[in-house]
Amino acid sequence: MLLNELNGLVRAKFDIGEDRKGALRSRFQHLQRLKFPAGVNTGRGKKVDYGWWETLQVCLAFELIDQGLSPDLVIAMISNNLDGIEFGAAVFTMLLEDSSAPAELISRQKMPDGQGCFLYCAANALANFKVESEGFQGFMAFYGEDELVRDNEFRHLLDSSNGTFVNLGNIIMHILNYRATALDEGLDAVVADFLAWASDFRPKDAS
């Protein structure tokens, strides 16, 4: 995905109108100056191809920026916790593969039974995705939406002013849908390409 295509994806995700596209372009330039995501800053005038991994990081960054976090903090949080984000993408991949019709789920942008892949983001000075919850030492949460809200173990996280939950699964589904429709790549082909990519980095813990 080229930069202008990625810009269009973010505009669609957050419903950013024509009057704000200049501000969004400035935000992209700021991320580039901070060398985020790693590996795509090839210098002025050179086309940059954003793969699945880079696209996911950018969309996650804008999700957190939209929730009020500064770009510098967001980049630190993501860069320090890439393994956890990969694990989350791997888990969501398994949810898709367990379905008999993953392309249909993506087109509807809705998983069965409220299944989801959620990332808890703690915005603290250490810039670390960290859950201070006895009995849960990870920084990923994989629960259906209703179950997540009802689960007492996580209720204090939902009420905490120091962190937020991000629906990583919804971000991935939006990326897949945008590539299939706006970029006219075809949904079946896009889903197959994503599943093939995700299988390359799937941690052993997610199998």
Task: Using the predicted structure, report yes or no on whether residue 3 has a pLDDT greater than 60.
Answer: yes
Distances (CA, A) of 138 to 154, 155, 179, 180: 12, 16, 31, 33
Task: Using the predicted structure, report yes or no on whether residue 109 has a pLDDT greater than 80.
Answer: no
Task: Using the predicted structure, report yes or no on whether residue 31 has a pLDDT greater than 80.
Answer: yes
HSE, CB side, 13 Å, CA atoms: give it for residue 28. 22
- Longest Cα–Cα distance of the chain, Å, equals 52
Q: Name the DSSP class of 167.
A: E
Per-residue model confidence as pLDDT tens digits over 48-107: 789 999 999 999 999 988 888 888 888 888 887 787 788 788 878 887 887 777 777 787
Task: Using the predicted structure, report yes or no on whether residue 154 has a pLDDT greater than 80.
Answer: no
More confident call, 198 vs 118:
198
Amino acid 95 reads L
Task: Using the predicted structure, report yes or no on whether residue 151 has a pLDDT greater than 90.
Answer: no
More confident call, 124 vs 22:
22
What pLDDT was estimated at residue 126? 41
